[in-house]
Amino acid sequence: MKTGRPLWWVAGLSLCLLVAVGVVSWVVVVDDGPYVVPTQPAATRSSPSPALASEVLRAFERAVRTGDEDAARALAPTGDDAAADRLAGIVANARAARVEDFTLRYVDAEGAYADGGWHAAVDATWRFAGFDRAPAHAEVLVALQDDGDRVALTGFGGGDRVSPLWLSGPLQVRRTPRTLVLVDGTPAEARQYALRAATAVPVVRRVLPDWRRGLVVEVPASEKALDGVLDADPGSYDQIAAVTTSDDGQLTANAPVHVFVNPDVFGGLKPTGAQVVMSHEATHVATGAFTSPMPLWILEGFADYVALRDVDLPVPRSASQIIAEVRKDGAPRSLPSEDDFGTRTPDLGATYESAWLANRLLARDGGEPALVRFYREVDGGAPVGRAMRSTFGFGVPAFTEQWRTLLQHLAG
């Protein structure tokens, strides 16, 4: 996505608390990503047929709506079993995930090739029933193939556009009334992700009992595949375990917001760290953090507060990075700024820990309900100082000194 606030602002804790508690180990997982339309040199050929392309797209819509895998297979090029399996897998994904409001509208040809293959830009809509308030809407690339007197369908995704995971090919799908998990991986991996998601929901609801919408988690096969799903620059998430963002790249209030996992980082976490990441991201979903204008020290620190609330770890271990920084350079003079949360920022883990400690301190000062009220006031547009004074009885300067004193005390 290339609009709005950078995606890292709702990123998982790959460099923050999880480093501090010793649960990050860097693991490179070599795996196949979702199908990506290959780039081929343009060649002279007859113009692609919009009418035939629209016909095959309508046929695939019907196959998805009716759950007809055989009908989807028949839309692949003659003899292309891989494409047939891919299309049948997409229909199976849609049935398991309960995809509704699925439409495909041909927009334009994107290129034609000597072998009869070509790309089409297609407006797509889809919605995961029971989880998404409104349909996702994105322009995606579709791979098509001239096949005698018809146009056949090869696959979805690629190019400089989002590539919806459920349209990439066969996935492991686990659905409960509270969670929907889509994984490009093994059944064992899907069970683990489903367990993390199912555990995260009650963790969040203990602090935010009004949250009832549920949690959608999408897990591509690799970090590279994640970049494709989100149309992100390569390496955007190489230090991030998970990110919460919209399913279609839109920055609207009703956009379907899901958790997207970087398996290359998440897969290296120990169980406690993996659960903290999932609960942190679920908090972002529950609070609508994706479109919030609030300072990141509140937004990210609150998510850490919820995720760590019932985790049995001593503070010196959970906050080891910021403690080390304070011992080295003294306590920060001010609460973390937005720039401090950049994914390439040195000591990012210490920044997250310091934000967590600030939110934890507010909860200690006024109680957890007061922290939640403060969060919601700021999220609703109230200035931080005014919301802090009305909720806790002191302003930002006094709180900053209290927070600095806490850091100094922890550093000994």
Q: pLDDT (tens digit, 9 = 90+) per residue, 201-230?
A: 999 999 999 998 899 999 999 999 999 999
Question: Helices 50-66 and 81-97, interaxial angle, to 10°?
Answer: 50
Architecture of domain 7-32+171-411: Orthogonal Bundle (1.10)
Domain ranges of the chain: 7-32+171-411, 50-161
Task: Please compute the mean of the pLDDT values over residues 307-325 and round it to a whole number.
Answer: 94
| Predicted local confidence at residue 46, as pLDDT | 55
| Predicted local confidence at residue 254, as pLDDT | 85
Provide the CATH topology of domain 50-161: Nuclear Transport Factor 2; Chain: A, (3.10.450)
| Predicted local confidence at residue 58, as pLDDT | 98
* Residue 200: pLDDT over 60: yes
| Predicted local confidence at residue 245, as pLDDT | 94
* Residue 5: pLDDT over 90: no
Q: What is the pLDDT of residues 58-101, one digit of tens each?
A: 999 999 999 999 999 999 999 999 999 999 999 999 999 999 99
For residue 139, list its beta bridge partners: 123
| Predicted local confidence at residue 111, as pLDDT | 76
Share of the chain above pLDDT 90, in %: 78
Task: Please compute the mean of the pLDDT values over residues 244-262 and round it to a whole number.
Answer: 91
Q: What is the pLDDT of residues 9-34, one digit of tens each?
A: 444 443 343 333 322 222 222 334 44
Mean pLDDT, rounded, of the chain = 89
| Predicted local confidence at residue 114, as pLDDT | 65
Angle in degrees, CA 230, 32, 241, rounded to 5:
50
| Predicted local confidence at residue 47, as pLDDT | 67
| Predicted local confidence at residue 251, as pLDDT | 81
Work out the pLDDT band at 158, boundaries 50, 70, 90: confident
Q: What is the pLDDT of residues 105-133, one digit of tens each?
A: 999 998 777 677 999 999 999 999 999 99
Task: Please compute the mean of the pLDDT values over residues 188-199 and round it to a whole number.
Answer: 98
Task: Please compute the mean of the pLDDT values over residues 360-389 and round it to a whole number.
Answer: 97
Print the SS3 string covering the chain: CCCCCCHHHHECCCCCHHHHCCCCCCCCCCCCCCCCCCCCCCCCCCCCCHHHHHHHHHHHHHHHHHCCHHHHHCCCCCCCHHHHHHHHHHHHHHHHHCEEEEEEEEEEEEEECCCCEEEEEEEEEEEECCCCCCCEEEEEEEEEEEECCEEEEEEECCCCCCCCHHHCCCCEEEECCCEEEEECCCHHHHHHHHHHHHHHHHHHHHHCCCCCCCEEEEECCCHHHHHHHHCCCCCCCCCCCEEEEECCCCCCCCCCEEEEECHHHHCCCCHHHHHHHHHHHHHHHHHCHHHCCCCHHHHHHHHHHHHHCCCCCCHHHHCHHHHHHHHHHCCCCCCCCHHHHCCCCCCHHHHHHHHHHHHHHHHHHHCHHHHHHHHHHHHCCCCHHHHHHHHHCCCHHHHHHHHHHHHHHHHC
Task: Please compute the mean of the pLDDT values over residues 45-57 and round it to a whole number.
Answer: 85
